[in-house]
Amino acid sequence: MRKKAEGPGEFAFYPWLLLAYPPVRDLAEGLVRPAALAALLLVAFVAFYALTVTLSFRGRTREAVVALAALVLVTFALLTRFADNWFYLAPLMTIAAGVAIRSKWIYPVLLTLTLALALLMWRVGSAGESISTTLWGTATGGLIVSIVLKLSRVIAELQQTREELAHAAVAEERLRFSRDLHDLLGHTLSVMVVKAEAVRRLAPRDAEAAARQAADIEAIGREALTEVRSAVTGYRGRGLAAELASARTALADAGIATTVTGAGQAGTPEADALLGWAVREGVTNVIRHSGATACAIRLDGTALEIHDDGRGAARTAFGNGLRGLAERVVAAGGHLETDTRDGFLLKVTIP
């Protein structure tokens, strides 16, 4: 299973408060008057910024917008009264806006705030270069935050949709398999029942005819067993080559470097399907449980090794997938072993 994409969380936005350092320095050096009012408004600014971010990430959108409105009022009160270095607070205001407003309304809001800031800076006599720099940082700060959060949400929705489609595909495949088994065995078992009834009727008076019917039952049963094995092979595995291709993609998507060496020589369709299933289960185990950064897949005829550099000692117990794989390998006359001394090694050998 691929890892879920995660966008920036709540705590990613608190370090941006470092932009408030220039106003804090002005306060500490006694460059603003009245200092008490400036300090009070600055504390209110920080509080409303943190409140806007916190409420937004906890799903309380309406309260977050109210906190954002209070933040905007405090910001313009500070900038109107103190100006200069205090304009560093403006990007924080639009970053909070990008966090709180996740709809198309963010664009007119950002435009309005930027124009209001431009007018304010012009009225207090700020230099043209200072105005352009501040406006650029203010507009892009909120815009980038809004875009990143929207993209993160879209990616999460796409991953959820992909998982739902995968579950639907599995359900459809199970339905197909049950339908195929019904079609495959329904008629065959009916014929076998009819012939068994004939054997029961013929046995007391015509042993030779009963034996012929019994031989027919045996032949039909063997044919049905072959067909069922073929159907189960097609259901449980796509084959070694297909599973190796899928494994490369899955490991790459999980950020795990992959090397594949050697070549498999399965021989029969059943052995090829079993090796393919071993690749699928082994790679699934690596992605879900290893925490590995590298995985090596080695093939030598009908011997398969999957070795990762992850948490080997912590993975001593088999899950359902590996347990089922071990049972099927043993049933086929093969051997499965694991080694946790250096990462995790899964070795499957099929006769």
Mean pLDDT of each 10-residue bin along the chain, 351 residues long: 57 84 84 85 90 89 90 88 79 88 85 84 74 80 84 84 80 72 66 79 85 83 74 62 84 86 74 85 84 91 90 64 82 88 90 81
143-157 burial, b at 16+ Cβ within 10 Å, e below that, comes to bebbeebeeeeeeee
Return phi, psi of residue 8, to 5°.
-65, 135
Return phi, psi of residue 319, to 5°.
-85, -175
Q: The domain at 240-349 falls in which architecture?
A: 2-Layer Sandwich (3.30)
pLDDT for residue 4: 46
What are the extents of the domains in the chain?
Answer: 10-156, 240-349
Question: What is the residue-wise DSSP string for 295-351?
Answer: EEEEEEETEEEEEESS--TT--S--HHHHHHHHHHHHTT-EEEEE-SSSEEEEEE--
pLDDT for residue 26: 82
pLDDT for residue 137: 78
Return phi, psi of residue 268, to 5°.
-100, 155
Angstrom distances, CA of residue 257 to CA of 82, 187, 285, 292: 55, 50, 15, 9
Question: What is the residue-wise DSSP string for 186-207?
Answer: HHHHHHHHHHHHHHHHHTTT-H
- Tell me the pTM: 0.47
Residue ranges in the chain assigned as alpha helix (H): 21-28, 35-57, 61-82, 90-100, 106-123, 128-202, 207-236, 240-253, 269-289, 320-331
Q: Which residue has the tokens 């997938």?
A: 321
- Residue 67 and residue 93 in contact, taking contact as beta carbons nearer than 8 Å: no
What separation, in Å, do the N-terminal and C-terminal C-alpha atoms of the chain show?
Answer: 30
Give CA–CA dist 122/120, Å, rounded. Answer: 5
Give CA–CA dist 72/112, Å, rounded. Answer: 11
Give CA–CA dist 200/207, Å, rounded. Answer: 10
- Residue 312 and residue 302 in contact, taking contact as beta carbons nearer than 8 Å: no
State the DSSP code for 258.
E
Give CA–CA dist 124/80, Å, rounded. Answer: 8
**For residue 105, how far is the Cα from the chain centroid?**
30
Length of the chain: 351
Question: Which residue pairs, CB below 8 angstroms and at least 24 apart, start in 228-236?
Answer: 228/181, 228/184, 228/185, 229/270, 230/269, 231/177, 231/180, 231/181, 231/184, 233/269, 233/270, 233/273, 234/273, 235/173, 235/177, 236/273, 236/277
Beta bridge partners of 264: 301
Quick one: which of 90, 96, 42 has its CA closest to 69?
96
